[in-house]
Amino acid sequence: MRPVRNDTQPTPTAAGRPEQDARRALVGRILVDVALPLLVYYALRALGADVLAATLAAGAVPAANAALVAARSRRIDVAGLVVVSLFLAGGALSVVTGDARLLYVKDGWLTGLLGAWVLLSLAMKRPFMLHLGTAIATAKVGDAGAAAWQRRWTDDPVFRRRLRLVSVVVGVVLMLDAVVRVAIASVIDLDAVATLTNVQYVVMLAGLLSWFFWYTARHGLRA
């Protein structure tokens, strides 16, 4: 007899698609938030622009991308709104004070605020990572997937403990990232700050995501 195909089972290609999409998103994020701003900064410096002008132009790249993504999706992107708001605030302060370092310090403010929010949400009934998992489950599976994710939080104490651990690690790493960013922006020569902060960002993000994907896969915490 010819075997009956069960179309409800994911194919290897479909199963691997979320991982591929995550890698593409990470590569795109690094290109837009790191590689392109560095290229703009050093190109303008080579053309004779001062540090403040080059820094403003380089910082405008990820801010403009966040605004463009929000305009295309026709919905409010909270993360993108924060990026644009911090860039405008940091840019205004930098122009008024003439200090380009404020544009780099604001990156520390962003990751620090996010890390603080992740940690503070642990005191709430439903922490940040639970909401993030629910959003991912909804995007991947739909309302049924989101409901299943919520039930695991309600019914499984081991799941709750592990998800809280993920929240602690993510929050602490983001807070440490903020401290390092502010320190680099405050004491390092400005022409080196652009490279050092971006290298530090890539190392932090790669390390955090590597642990995150390993731990969530090992302990069944994928939404």
Query: What pLDDT digit, counting tens, does each position of 140-170 carry?
Result: 778 888 888 889 999 999 999 999 999 999 9
Q: Which is more confident, 22 or 137? A: 137
Position 26 scores a pLDDT of 63
Query: How far apart are the two ends of the chain, measured CA to CA in Å?
Result: 37
Among 189, 188, 192, which residue's Cα sits nearest to residue 180? 188
Condensed to tens digits (0 to 9), the pLDDT of residues 52-77 reads 788 788 778 877 877 787 777 666 55
Rounded to two decimals, the pTM is: 0.67
Report d(CA 45, CA 57) in Å as an integer.
11
Position 28 scores a pLDDT of 73
Position 79 scores a pLDDT of 57
- Other beta carbons within 10 angstroms of residue 213's beta carbon come to 14
Report d(CA 159, CA 163) in Å as an integer.
6
Residue 112 clears pLDDT 80, i.e. is over it: yes
Query: 200: which 2 tokens?
Result: 């530090």
Contacts of 181 (CB under 8 A, 6+ apart): 104, 105, 107, 108, 111, 197, 200, 201
Query: 18: which 2 tokens?
Result: 């979320």
